[in-house]
Amino acid sequence: MPALNQSPKMIFIAWIRHNRRSQLLAQKFQMKLFLIQTLKRSYFLAPLRYVLQTITTWATLLREKPDVVFVQNPPIFAALWVYLYAKLWRAEFVIDSHTGALLAPWWQWTLPLHAFLSRRAVTTVVTNQHLAGLVQAWQAPVFIIADIPTHFPLGQTVTMKKGFNVVVINTFSPDEPVAEILAAAALLPDVNFYITGDPIRAKKSFLQSHPANVSFTGFIPDEEYFGLLRSVDAIMVLTKDNHTMQRGACEAVSLGKPIITSDWPVLREYFHQGTIYVDNSPSGIRDGVMQMQQQKDRLSEEIVRLQQERWVEWEEKYRELTQLIHEQVNRNEPLRRRVESRLVAGDQLPS
């Protein structure tokens, strides 16, 4: 079969207000990104929210008429509507499944639907080998992309407090040991902690009573966010859940900042340089920060080497996934004819 000469039109759909991974995947593959979220995030409003987001998603698909759709999961219902579009319009789709989609207790009831859709997708993208094994058990294609390295903006200049400064990349999710971090901060009065994340999702007790050396930044614009990350001495990203890739730690690698993260095998393996591993207890977090203070120069050198390693890895992943999409479009004869009918100057597949 002859090679495909024209590039398929691709878009990315995510039912969320903001997600760095989706943003970077869309950017790297030159896709339009559609972040679709209505109403506030609430279990009680979820049914109505999903109905409204379905309407917006369907309108977006009919307006854009993409050949290939990347869709973030969770929720799996976004992928369901993308599959129905692909079935009707002979298009293809890729599911980007985050850890929660496969492991979170509240999504377990959707796994049969997830398996059904994954078997019909070009592939399901996951962040590590454990998650890949779960998808492979469904006899579905799977592709691992742990991180998407990038060059972040310099951001605004941020004046830091005197002493050692640590930013905690945080979203106030159930898996994040915020209480333990606050307890550790109380043991380290000379270290300044800056905890990110939308305070509307935080427990009121965290905001009302915390050590004086802790600042809650709120959900801040990228210019301020990256300025903050570049200004601190180290970046902390913790999780109580195993098999969870840390997007914040990936950002630290791209920025060349040493990391403090949780002592899980998947995180030890991926962040194998420039990183301190802690057990999520107040004393463990305290000891990790003290170790970071003592070894910062060496760890900063190591994280630059890890950054270079991850760029090489990404270039190979990019080529492999591009080829996989290319081959699938090539096999889909109606889609192939539709793609090649477009004579858009310079619209070649990325190589």
Averages of pLDDT over runs of 10 residues in the chain (351 residues) are 71 94 96 92 82 97 97 97 97 97 96 98 97 98 96 91 96 94 97 95 91 94 95 97 94 97 97 97 98 98 97 97 96 91 54 42
pLDDT reported for residue 345: 44
The pLDDT value recorded for residue 2 is 53
**Could you tell me if 264 and 166 are in contact, meaning their C-beta atoms sit under 8 angstroms apart?**
no
- What per-residue confidence (pLDDT) applies to 289? 98
In whole angstroms, give the CA distance from residue 17 to residue 36. Answer: 7
Q: Provide the 8-state DSSP code for 32.
A: E
Report the C-alpha gap between 194 and 45 in whole angstroms. Answer: 31
CA angle 181, 183, 187 (to 5 degrees): 110
Q: Which two tokens stand for residue 20?
A: 């760095």
pLDDT of res. 245: 93
What pTM did the predictor assign? 0.88
Task: Note the helical H segments in the chain.
Answer: 20-28, 46-64, 76-89, 99-103, 111-118, 129-136, 178-186, 204-208, 222-231, 247-255, 265-270, 282-331, 333-340
Confidence at residue 350, expressed as pLDDT on a 0 to 100 scale: 43
